Amino acid sequence: MIHIKELRSGLNIFKALSSEIRIEILELLTKHDSLNLNEIAEKLGLTNGAITMHIRKLEESGLIDITTAVGRHGIQKICYLNEDTLSVDLKNKSAGNANVYEVEVKVGHYSDYNAEPTCGLATKDSIVGEFDNPRYFADPQRINAGIVWLTRGFLEYRIPNYLKPNQRFSELQFIMELSSEAPGYNEDYPSDISFSVNGVEAGVWTSPGDFGKERGTYNPEWWPPHLNQYGLIKLLRINDNGSFIDGCLISNVTISDLRLKQNGDIKFRIGVSDTGRAGGLTIFGENFGNYKQDLIARVIYDVATS
């Protein structure tokens, strides 16, 4: 089940559902376990070219997934539903809860990193240092960065822990705009992006590509059109039931598995390793991409009653 608890995290899904053709594609996939692009085009009376954009939008939203298979006519893309149920909370149940605090961390304000080219970072005014030179990830100007990208490696952020002795972590949430990282850009460039807290991997989300065909809403005027333009907004939640991306379970790692200490920092790491589909990572901040925000971290907690 895809469970949207934060309306902002569901924007890509809502946009994907705004098209009659995409609704028809989803209806077809509810009747069949899987269909390739030719079968979908034939059933809808459209050309492959006409449905390609719609398929991409559905994949980007997480409503469908795509695998490749070898057929009689070469490589085929097989489409199937990612989940069979979608639910939306119109009212944020934690919004009225006093037991929550939220911080927004600049994407360049990481506390540790490892970066391999292609890589780089930029403020709203200019590139920091040089393209593809990892040394500039330590430049003092990096704290003002509004976009950071790397092919392999990680970015680690320290989230403040304000809990008191009578309080207990019940859920961590991280909201961020992400994409893959290709030389230039490549809309079809899968990358397995991992998330961990205090050294415990919470799971992996596969970014479908590095998006650049349309200009990012908040990109500065000087930003080159042949580079990354925007990402997909993602909501990572870790609670007593497991770890979720946009309501989809990505692992059984729970909040208690994270070894959070009452007096310790919360170390949140985003990375791409050599294993899996290593298509890189881009994280967009307030002055880049389609969402005017940096990395948002939210801590929800319980208060012990005496």
pTM for the predicted model, two decimal places:
0.76
Residue 177 CA to residue 11 CA, distance in Å, equals 12
**Digit-coded pLDDT (tens) for 207-239:** 999 999 999 999 999 999 999 999 999 999 999
Strands 86-88 and 2-4: parallel
**Digit-coded pLDDT (tens) for 287-301:** 999 999 999 999 999
38 burial (CB, 10 Å; 0-12 / 13-18 / 19+) is: middle
pLDDT of residue 80 exceeding 60, the answer is yes
Top-confidence residue, 49 or 3? 49
**Average pLDDT of the segment spanning 47-76:** 84
pLDDT of residue 95: 46
Strands 112-116 and 86-88: unpaired
Strands annotated E in 60-209:
64-71, 74-81, 86-88, 100-105, 112-116, 120-122, 147-150, 152-159, 167-179, 191-197, 200-207
Binned at pLDDT 50, 70 and 90, residue 141 comes out as very high
**Digit-coded pLDDT (tens) for 87-137:** 787 765 544 455 999 999 999 999 999 999 999 999 999 999 999 999 999
E strand or H helix that includes residue 153:
strand 152-159
Sorted by where each starts, the structural domains of the chain and their CATH numbers stand as: 2-87 (1.10.10.10), 94-303 (2.60.120.260)
Binned at pLDDT 50, 70 and 90, residue 65 comes out as confident
pLDDT of residue 282 exceeding 50, the answer is yes
Average pLDDT of the chain to the nearest whole number: 90
Binned at pLDDT 50, 70 and 90, residue 261 comes out as confident
